[in-house]
Structure 1
Amino acid sequence: MGSITDSFSDLSLNSAQELGALIVGAGFGGVYQLKHLRDAGYKVKLVEAGADYGGVWYWNRYPGARVDSSIPVYEFSDPALWQTWSWKQRFPGSAELRAYFAHVAEVWDLRRDTEFGAFVESAVWDDGESKWTVKTKKGDIYKAEFFLLNTGFAAKRYIPDWKGIDTFKGNFLHPSYWPHEELDLKGKKVAVIGTGSTGIQLATDLAPLVGELAVFQRTINTSLPMRQVDYQDGEQEIPRKDYPDFFRGRTDSFGGFDFNFIGRSTFDDDPETRRELYEKLWAEGDFKFWLATYQDMLFDPAANREAYNFWRDKTRAKIHDARVRDLLAPMKQPYSFGCKRVSLENGYFEIFNESHVHLVDVNSTPIEEITPKGIKTSEKEWEFDYIICATGFDSITGSLKQIDIRGPSGQSLQEHWKKATYTHMGLSVSGFPNMFFSYGPQAPTPFCNGPTCAELQGDWILGLMNHMRDKGLKKVEVEEESENKWREIVLRLANATLLPNTRSWYMGDNIPGKPREPLLYLGGVPAYYKTLGEAAKNGYTGFKLE
């Protein structure tokens, strides 16, 4: 542990800012905690690597970037915010989301306690003081009783180690590093590598603009119709008088939305009734065909195949070319529907009917290298002006492991999670006292709407801190046994579904060398909310407080 303490040697610890809590990350989780911890009387500071609020929406500025959770689901429940804010679209774009965060910052008066441009690089726990010493890359030091990480599940970018990236004479970029100034893409030759939600949004928006577009696909994305709505004159999805009940209902939904799986199984209905339900969900858009369908869709292979076949037939009808049709929506189901991240689309499949848009199957013609002119596959060399690497993130655990966090034993969090991920309730880790994170591993994270999770977990963390303050306690730490039991629950829930049979970032499959394991809690938001509540009611079971 000497190397860590040595890193502070050129700076006096006497200059460290003393805090009750240091919050990392200015997305939904971080700003919620800043507001509510400060209201509760804690001396608190928020540090953010970017230059403004928004979390992932500060970074995501690429063409087509927008959220795929509808409003008012995707906003805070505080009346002071929604009474003075109107959305322009059912699924807001990134610029509108940044404007919303600016509204939140103003109403909640956040800027006076926020430090931007502050990337946290290390944190060390001092057992004698019961405090964390946290250092940023620019040299600021904080000593905090609580270390609250809200780094999100998509903060560490992933770019495959292709040969020749540095030789490319055009522009090579990851979408999360999209320049703030507008790029001159009109008439250009552009490659989009990847068909996750980012790749789909990018390709859809770029197709009408560029001269030639090639989309490099490894795996199909079972995208669903978004059904975008533009609002006029301040109208919103539901009347504002219904908002309080609406927000209270989010914790009753499996995904923290305003809909749920229906209480019957796929083959309880005859084929005609089943198709009527599918058609209804399809027409409503959103994630309803995924998360408001039959209760056995993610569990029973036959039920899952029924859902895929309906999706396949609907999607194939949009695509003219037979080869492209078979690549985008193959007759044979390639993986369990809904067990890779489902995206929402606005005309994505139709772009491949345009003569200047090409689909490259990297399974049959893999990328061999990046050349000065473009991309060389096993079939040919493509020439491009821009290569957009929409290859995603080291999701869920990557953003936490990129910080050198060390508990009293000197072991780093990265070392603690080297072979497998362990948490208690997806909130905290054994051996790292007074440290909590939101929207992280082994919580409902990827299956939970962001603001719902931010409020649910933020309130619980604040409740624990208040309990400790009332009791005069200084230290809280996860018991190792409870961490092991929570992992068993996470594995048991995941293994009851079809998810482990599918390669996805839900399982850590997108990062070479990363342990393959379920990284999310699949019990749903209501069960998770109940578990947290019971732990608090019973004196914070699973934790040692002193």
Structure 2
Amino acid sequence: MGSVANGIITETDVVVIGAGFSGLYMVHSLRKFGFNVRAFEKAPDVGGTWYWNRYPGARCDSESLTYCYTFDEQLFQDWVWSERYPAGPEVLKYLRHVADRFDLRQHFQFETAVQSATYDEVARRWTITASTGEVVSTQFFISAVGNLSVPATPAVKGIESFQGQWLHTGRWPLQPIDFTGKRVAVIGTGSSGVQVTQEIAKTAAHLTVFQRTPTFTIPLRNMPLDPDYQRLWKSNARELIKKTRYSDGGLPFFASSTPLKGQDPEVVEQGLEAAWGVGGFKFLFGTFCDVGSDHESNAIVADFARRKIASIVKDAEKLRVLTPTGYPLGAKRIPLDTGYFQVYNQDNVHIVDLKENPIKEMTSGGLIAGETEHAFDLVIFATGFDAITGPLMQMDITGRGGQKLKDTWADGPYGYLGVGVPGFPNLLTLGGPGGVGVISNVPPTAEQAVEFAAECVAYLRDHNIDEIEATTEAADLWCEHVHAEAFKTMYPYAPSSWHDGSNLGKKARPFPAYTPGFSKFRRICDNIAAEGYTSFKLHHKGEAGSKANYKAHDPEWYTKVVQAPSSAELASWLEKSPMWT
């Protein structure tokens, strides 16, 4: 393993950070291309987010048969999922299986964080310093740290004085916690808050949920997966994989092409009711095509969802606090729930509006919200993550001319295609700013980012190119396009969201994710690769650095309509899928 011994720094071709979906596949892909690769992971084992998110109720909101790798058909065929939506332990078991199947652990150094990375402009190499003191020199530095891996814990006054236990859902302990007879606080009502609330309410003596923004939810409708259905799915594996890789959301389902506008109200109500019964993202993507782009259509669907909440919550005051208003459905990530609103009908469950009663401080016995002191044995922060840029900003990363990455991102995410940052040559960020990772199904979008990066570094090696860098011109053009496209959706209209950092009180900044769809994004990247990465600045060995081979794409390039491959037979089969009907 790489270390400093007798003043010698270990050298390798590529350093990868992270052992989640992206990191595992990145190491596997680089190895297939013949690269020497070192990988570091903070956790004691593989799993990424799924290693840390062990809280009760943790569950994936993509269906299990789509929440998996597609790069190896035999892996796809062999793995058997137990439920429609896999629980956290099952996803972790799957990732461990992948690591063992492809013998990937040998390349990872666990319980090791990267503390600093500095680019040498003369040698055109990165010097990586790990938390163990090890130093590694590498040509390429690839971040697979994930977008949701740094927990955001509010700086609450007096937290050190609390005599009970406090936890963050993103760093849950290995040992299970018994909530029986305990007074518990859950702070936050995003996906983690919704999931953990549903579980704690079953046994806690008293549960108080502290909510900043009321949330829309959609029924999960989870169920065991029928073996015959799984066999049917796998018999169509090749078509499904093709469809997944060129679909709008990284899901092999066909989104509706019918607009809500102009429809008879009775038809709209019937369609929404049917989709609500199916549950999951069918309600968003399989009903009407303009829910995510037209505010009037969105308002109708949002009102439908509010009526569903009103039909469940019996207490008028709780209903007032829990009802989401003032922002569009889908602007914030929508949790999938199993009886979330029903728990508020229990006498032992209460809800506190943090806008009306902000948390002032924690005390030895609980916390003060508004003018009321609440007593707790356990306080759980389900307050989300410092998303997208947070993981890399924890490291001291220095690029060209002493430029710090934390300074480059001080005003928000900035990059090209989610993979390159101007001023940081040979640093590739999988799913970084401008990518699709945070709004598309994780495994296929991770695969796309990995394949783009792996094929890129192999191309550079084979063409005697020792440096690649996103240019300011390309990044500016891309960021402008991404931001403009975002305002054709509901995302920018969220009152607070980890998508743009407003959950942490950060000032408004460019929207960080490509919203026109995974399929279009993949096609753009495919074409950039086919052109020899000429939209980046490339440095051939022996040549002085220049922009001579830089070629910026015309802005219209990014708005070309691309169609995903499909077959009428597969389309017909998917429309009849029991997951959708």
Query: Which bin holds the TM-score, normalised by the shorter protein?
Result: over 0.9
Q: 1:35 aligns with which of 10, 15, 28?
A: 28
Describe the superposition over 1:142-174 as per-residue Cα deviations: whole angstroms up to 9, x where unpaired: 111111101111122211121111110100111
Aligned equivalent of 1:136: 130
Q: Say whether 1:365 aligns with 2:357.
A: yes
Aligned equivalent of 2:75: 81
Q: Secondary structure at the match of 2:13?
A: strand
Aligned equivalent of 1:277: 271
Instruction: Describe the shift of the 1:319–1:116 C-alpha distance in structure 2 as closer, same or farther (beyond 3 A).
Output: same
Q: Secondary structure at the match of 2:503?
A: coil
Alpha-carbon separation, structure 2, partners of 1:364 and 1:160: 18
Describe the superposition over 1:323-371 as per-residue Cα deviations: whole angstroms up to 9, x where unpaired: 11222225xx321110101110011110011111111111222211111
Q: Is the 8 A contact 1:86 1:235 kept in 2?
A: no
TM-score, with length taken from structure 1 = 0.95
Aligned equivalent of 1:522: 515
Instruction: Describe the shift of the 1:238–1:60 C-alpha distance in structure 2 as closer, same or farther (beyond 3 A).
Output: farther
Q: 1:91 aligns with which of 85, 92, 96?
A: 85
Q: Is the 8 A contact 1:87 1:234 kept in 2?
A: no
Look up the equivalent residue of 1:50 and give its one-letter code: A
Q: 2:342 aligns with which of 316, 325, 350?
A: 350
Q: Secondary structure at the match of 2:139?
A: strand
TM-superposed deviation, 1:14:
4.6
Match runs of 1:382-461 below 5 Å: 382-461=374-453
TM-superposed deviation, 1:237:
8.1
Q: Is the 8 A contact 2:486 2:511 kept in 1?
A: yes
Alpha-carbon separation, structure 2, partners of 1:399 and 1:267: 41
Alpha-carbon separation, structure 2, partners of 1:251 and 1:277: 28
TM-superposed deviation, 1:232:
5.7
Aligned equivalent of 1:206: 200
Describe the superposition over 1:166-223 as per-residue Cα deviations: whole angstroms up to 9, x where unpaired: 1101001111221101223211110000001001100001111111111111111111
Aligned equivalent of 1:150: 144
Aligned equivalent of 2:326: 334
State percent identity of aligned pairs: 35
Q: Is the 8 A contact 1:156 1:398 kept in 2?
A: yes
Which aligned runs of 4 or more in structure 1 are off by greater than 6 angstroms?
none
Match runs of 1:36-75 below 5 Å: 36-75=29-68
TM-superposed deviation, 1:236:
2.8
TM-superposed deviation, 1:234:
8.2
Match runs of 1:218-233 below 5 Å: 218-231=212-225
Aligned equivalent of 2:559: none
Q: 2:117 aligns with which of 98, 103, 123?
A: 123
Describe the superposition over 1:370-406 as per-residue Cα deviations: whole angstroms up to 9, x where unpaired: 1111011113111100000111111111112111111
Instruction: Describe the shift of the 1:480–1:319 C-alpha distance in structure 2 as closer, same or farther (beyond 3 A).
Output: same
Q: Is the 8 A contact 2:313 2:341 kept in 1?
A: yes
Q: 2:106 aligns with which of 95, 109, 112?
A: 112
Q: 1:17 aligns with which of 1, 10, 25?
A: 10
Q: Secondary structure at the match of 1:192?
A: strand
Alpha-carbon separation, structure 2, partners of 1:396 and 1:238: 37
Alpha-carbon separation, structure 2, partners of 1:514 and 1:150: 26
Instruction: Describe the shift of the 1:316–1:541 C-alpha distance in structure 2 as closer, same or farther (beyond 3 A).
Output: farther
Q: Is the 8 A contact 2:145 2:391 kept in 1?
A: yes
TM-score, with length taken from structure 2 = 0.89
Q: Is the 8 A contact 1:80 1:107 kept in 2?
A: no
TM-superposed deviation, 1:233:
5.7
Q: Is the 8 A contact 1:51 1:116 kept in 2?
A: yes
Alpha-carbon separation, structure 1, partners of 2:287 and 2:439: 15
Q: Secondary structure at the match of 2:50?
A: helix
Q: Secondary structure at the match of 1:162?
A: coil
Aligned equivalent of 1:471: 463
Look up the equivalent residue of 2:349 and give its one-letter code: V
Aligned equivalent of 1:101: 95
Instruction: Describe the shift of the 1:149–1:277 C-alpha distance in structure 2 as closer, same or farther (beyond 3 A).
Output: same
Look up the equivalent residue of 1:458 and give its one-letter code: V
Look up the equivalent residue of 2:528 and give its one-letter code: A
Aligned equivalent of 1:297: 291
Q: Secondary structure at the match of 2:78?
A: coil
Instruction: Describe the shift of the 1:398–1:47 C-alpha distance in structure 2 as closer, same or farther (beyond 3 A).
Output: same
Aligned equivalent of 2:487: 495
Aligned equivalent of 2:366: 374
Q: Secondary structure at the match of 1:23?
A: strand
Structure 2 spans left out of the alignment, 5+ residues: 540-581
Q: Is the 8 A contact 2:21 2:47 kept in 1?
A: yes
TM-superposed deviation, 1:541:
3.0
Describe the superposition over 1:89-115 as per-residue Cα deviations: whole angstroms up to 9, x where unpaired: 111111111111111011111111111
More displaced, 414-423 or 527-536?
414-423
Q: Is the 8 A contact 1:72 1:237 kept in 2?
A: no
Q: Say whether 1:541 aligns with 2:528.
A: no
Q: Is the 8 A contact 2:124 2:139 kept in 1?
A: yes
Give the aligned CA root-mean-square deviation in angstroms. 1.8
Q: Secondary structure at the match of 2:350?
A: strand
TM-superposed deviation, 1:239:
2.8
Q: Secondary structure at the match of 2:209?
A: strand
Alpha-carbon separation, structure 1, partners of 2:289 and 2:229: 33
More displaced, 152-161 or 200-209?
152-161
Q: Is the 8 A contact 1:508 1:518 kept in 2?
A: no
Look up the equivalent residue of 1:174 and give its one-letter code: H
Alpha-carbon separation, structure 2, partners of 1:257 and 1:142: 38
Q: Is the 8 A contact 1:220 1:329 kept in 2?
A: yes
TM-superposed deviation, 1:294:
2.2
More displaced, 494-503 or 101-110?
494-503
Aligned equivalent of 2:570: none
Alpha-carbon separation, structure 2, partners of 1:13 and 1:40: 31
Q: Secondary structure at the match of 1:147?
A: strand
Q: Is the 8 A contact 2:47 2:92 kept in 1?
A: yes
Look up the equivalent residue of 1:209 and give its one-letter code: T
Alpha-carbon separation, structure 1, partners of 2:302 and 2:65: 29
Alpha-carbon separation, structure 2, partners of 1:463 and 1:455: 12
Aligned equivalent of 2:171: 177
TM-superposed deviation, 1:302:
0.8
Look up the equivalent residue of 1:408 and give its one-letter code: R
Aligned equivalent of 1:483: 475
Aligned equivalent of 1:250: 244
Aligned equivalent of 2:550: none
Alpha-carbon separation, structure 1, partners of 2:229 and 2:136: 45
Look up the equivalent residue of 1:362 and give its one-letter code: L
Look up the equivalent residue of 1:69 and give its one-letter code: S
Aligned equivalent of 2:525: 532
